[in-house]
Amino acid sequence: MKSKINKRLAGIAVLAVIATVVGITIIYYGLFQRQVRADLSVSAKLLRDTHYFESVNIDTDDIDLSTDIEELRVTWVAEDGTVLYDNDASAKLLTNHNDRPEIQEAFTDGVGEAVRKSDTMNQNTFYYAVLLDNGTVLRVATNAQSLWSVFMSVAPIIILIILIIITICILISHLLTRQLIRPIEVMVSNLENADYESPYKELDPLSEMLRSQHTDVLAAAKARQDFTANVSHELKTPLTAISGYAELLEGGMVSEDKQNHFYHEIRKNADRLLALINDIIKLSELDRVDHGIAFEQIDLYEVAKECVNELSVSAKLKDISIDIDGKESSIHGNRELIKELIENLVQNAIRYNNPGGKVMVTVNTIDNSTCLIVKDNGIGIPAADQQRVFERFYRVDKSRSKATGGTGLGLAIVKHIVEIHDAKLQLDSAPGVGTTISVLF
């Protein structure tokens, strides 16, 4: 970050210097050109007012301006374009000047101007011509540096200024970045301090966001750590039981009349282990799921009815009556996940019920929202535990959960699926009365 700020400040400084120098040079070169033209105009008028060019019959040998005006070229042109006098060369050697634009303009308008560039000399020649009373034209000319030569002449100064400014910018940027970053560094070091106030108001939103993210990261890390510990413990229990029973059977330490019991326990723990693994895999899949999941219009009542029919045998074996009520209700969701959600809710209602209990599944509309309600009259959930039942591996009655084959992950899966569908989850329960869980889509 510091190096980027330094580079950008130096780049801005260099661009500013170059743009300023170029702009000022162009402006002043324009002023310089106007001044040269003005000087030539004055010189031409002064020469016109002398006695040198009053008559074309004057002996031009008597005119000698070569020593008086070294930087000014003076040319006297007759009406037919013939050069009568030139202070820089012999008039006889010069060609007819009638084709020169400044001469033509002077004959027509009284005065004429022109600028001709010399690519080889990197100079511009400025011409100013004035029509005299005797019909001849007096032209004066001078050489001046071209714009490019002006640039080249100031290039060393420009380079020196750029180097000085870059050096100053680097020093200033170091100080600025240190001042800018220091409060952020202090703020980051105080993320866990809720009383810390950032020195700048502009940093308050960033401070809150970082603190919130920091808290979320810590919570997620703790949740993963707890989940790993819980998974290890939950898997270890059935594996230990299976290993223990198998070891006793292998060593011939179990009588024949008890062997069936041991086989039953091994199968029960294997089923529990398989259920745990399936739920862990399902949770992992839900953790990885993104917005690319395939959604479609599905009939919630139809899916609920299918789940109730599939679980009716399990309910009957536990002397639980199960029924469904409602009507066709379309929602936008993933059919497989919705079925998983309903199955987990109904299985919990059956698992934590009493013999002779009832489970009622209802699909209806509440406040323009399609609602799934799973209600039972089972053991219920104490108020102190109702906020935690959707946590992974959290069980209200651990002994009953394990006895009935619960993994402690069913409601965690339900919560995850509800979040994916942007739905709302409501829980109403009382010990000895039963539990009602509602999902509003």
Q: pLDDT tens digits, residue range 4-13?
A: 766 777 777 7
What does the CA dihedral 280, 286, 288, 292 come to, rounded to 10 degrees?
A: 160
Residues 156-194 have pLDDT tens digits of 877 787 788 778 877 887 787 777 777 777 767 766 666
Does residue 100 fall inside a structural domain?
A: yes
Q: What is the pLDDT of residue 67?
A: 47
Q: SS3 letters for 373-421?
A: EEEECCCCCCHHHCCCCCCCCCCCCHHHHHHCCCCCCHHHHHHHHHHHC
Alpha-carbon distance 166 to 145, whole Å? 30
Alpha-carbon distance 165 to 28, whole Å? 23
> Which CATH number do you get for residue 419?
3.30.565.10
Report residue 125's pLDDT band, with 50, 70 and 90 as the boundaries. confident
Alpha-carbon distance 88 to 63, whole Å? 12
Does residue 399 fall inside a structural domain?
A: yes
Report residue 369's pLDDT band, with 50, 70 and 90 as the boundaries. confident
Which domain covers residue 10, as residue numbers? Answer: 2-150
Does residue 216 fall inside a structural domain?
A: yes
Q: What is the pLDDT of residue 2?
A: 64
Angle at 219 between CA 289 and CA 189, to 5 degrees: 125
Residue 336 has pLDDT above 90, yes or no: no
More confident residue, 183 or 73: 73
Same domain, 110 and 22: yes
H or E, element range at 437: strand 434-440
What does the CA dihedral 60, 64, 66, 69 come to, rounded to 10 degrees?
A: -110
Alpha-carbon distance 300 to 308, whole Å? 12
Q: What is the pLDDT of residue 150?
A: 63
Q: Among residues 288, 322, 344, which one ends one of the domains? A: 288
Same domain, 78 and 24: yes
What does the CA dihedral 232, 237, 239, 241 come to, rounded to 10 degrees?
A: 170
Same domain, 305 and 270: no
- Closest to 56 measured CA to CA, from 26, 27, 85, 17: 85
Taking every pair of C-alpha atoms in the chain, what is the biggest distance, in angstroms? 154
Quote the crossing angle between the two packed helices 300-317 and 335-351, to the nearest 10°.
30
Report residue 373's pLDDT band, with 50, 70 and 90 as the boundaries. very high
> Which CATH number do you get for residue 232?
1.10.287.130
135 in the Ramachandran plot: left (φ > 0), alpha (ψ -120 to 50) or beta? left
Same domain, 369 and 327: yes
Percentage, residues of the chain above pLDDT 90: 18
More confident residue, 3 or 138: 138
Same domain, 436 and 308: yes
Specify the number of domains making up the chain: 3
Does residue 64 fall inside a structural domain?
A: yes
78-82, 91-95, 164-168, 331-335: least confident range:
164-168
Q: SS3 letters for 324-338?
A: EEECCCEEEECHHHH
Report residue 407's pLDDT band, with 50, 70 and 90 as the boundaries. low
Residue with tokens 């661009």: 15
Same domain, 415 and 330: yes
More confident residue, 55 or 124: 124
Q: Report, in angstroms and rounded to the nearest whole number, the Rg of the chain calculated over CA atoms.
A: 49
Same domain, 376 and 433: yes
Q: Which residues neighbour 348 within 8 Å (Cβ) at sequence distance 6 or greater?
A: 406, 410, 411
Same domain, 309 and 377: yes
Q: Among residues 288, 310, 329, which one ends one of the domains? A: 288
Residue 241 has pLDDT above 70, yes or no: yes
Same domain, 320 and 281: no
What is the arithmetic mean of pLDDT over 254-260?
81
Same domain, 10 and 145: yes
Parallel/antiparallel/unpaired status of strands 296-299 and 330-333? antiparallel
Does residue 257 fall inside a structural domain?
A: yes
